Amino acid sequence: MANKCVECGKKAIISLTYGPHRFCNEHFLHFFEKRVRKTIRENKLVEGREKIVVAYSGGKDSAVTLFLLNKIFGKNNPIEALLIDEGIPKYRNKALAIAERNCKKWGIPFKRFYFKNEFDFTMVDVMRKTGAKKIIGSTCAYCGVLRRQIMNRQAREMKASKLATGHNLDDETQSVLMNVMDADLERFLRNGPKSEGAKEMIPRIKPLYHCPEKEIIAFAKITGIKYFEQKCCPFKWQAKRNDFRAMVEDFEAKYPGMMFSTVKFLKEVKEGMEKKTSRKKIVVCSKCGEPCSGKVCKACKMTERLKK
């Protein structure tokens, strides 16, 4: 019985150690989609006929997010993809070429935005600056903050009521553990399947919140979804996150289910603490009008620094 699908008795192609669940192709796809639907329903990620904009990088996570949201909501809800080109040669252009092809194949409208047009520099320029002046922080920190700003601004322009990203269970577990070890309660409480803030901020949702990365790869392969497979961008300097990624992988292999326990713990702490903790109020940046927690947002501070 060990290698038989628990649903139909056919040969199992995947075994999920935390279950233990064993599935054939068909029942794995069913199991995976059912879990995404449950995450959406229980966390009220999409309500009614909201317009959903999906931040689509060309990688597996955002590809599966877009594919499933389109499958689940495409008939009744407007869905569009938002593509951001940071100007990373031989990397993002390749990934976005796949993303554009998928959007056309699935009949999903998309818009592509460029760092160069939005900020007048690309990540190559940022890389040169951060490389020259090591004190001003890592390349990825700039990339992430600037990308999130475009995402929010353009999703607002596209009249989105929800902005979906491809964050998965592995990403979330890494973030939670990093925030714990940094004693960063503010960030810790910002994790979760949905984040909302000021009215200028389009609520962000993570439909793959409960999906381990390995299962997303399996889902994409079985469904035949094409995605950009190169894992690391040439500027990938996220040394600390990489260490947490390795640690989480190691722990999950030794203690199956620990990623689920970590996000469950986050949920319980949030429910218990959110009311008591005085979280920084989200206001808007005095320079660009985007949501932030101080006077001037991080993106404006960064672009100022990069101009010097």
- How many residues sit close enough to ligand SF4 to count as binding (CB under 6 A)? 10
Provide the token pair at 127: 């890389």
* 144 lies in the binding site for ligand SF4 (CB under 6 A): yes
Of these, 21, 288, 291, 305, which contacts Zn ion (CB under 5 A)? Answer: 288
Rounded Cα–Cα distance for residues 5 and 26 (Å)? 10
Would you count residue 300 as binding Zn ion (CB under 5 A)?
yes
Encoded tokens for 138 = 């890592």
For residues 39 and 179, which CB has a smaller minimum distance to ligand SF4 in the complex?
A: 179
Please list the residues that pair with 79 across neighbouring strands: 52
Contacts with 179 (C-beta within 8 Å, 6 or more apart), sequence order = 185, 187, 188, 191
Site string for Zn ion, 3-42 (x = CB under 5 A): --x-xx-x-------------x--x---------------
- Residue from 14, 146, 160, 285 touching Zn ion (CB under 5 A): that is 285
Point out which residues pair with 114 in neighbouring strands. Answer: 85
Task: Report the chain's terminal Cα–Cα distance, integer Å.
Answer: 66
Residue 235 found at the interface with ligand SF4 (CB under 6 A): yes
Distance CA 113, CA 139 (A): 19
297 near Zn ion (CB under 5 A): yes
Q: Is 140 in the site for ligand SF4 (CB under 6 A)?
A: yes
Note whether 115 binds ligand SF4 by CB under 6 A.
no
Residue 8 contacts which entry, Zn ion, ligand SF4, none (Cβ below 5-8 A, type-dependent): Zn ion
Query: Which positions from 226 to 265 touch Zn ion by CB under 5 A, shown as an x/- string?
Result: ----------------------------------------
d(CA 9, CA 173): 33
Q: What type of residue is 112?
A: R
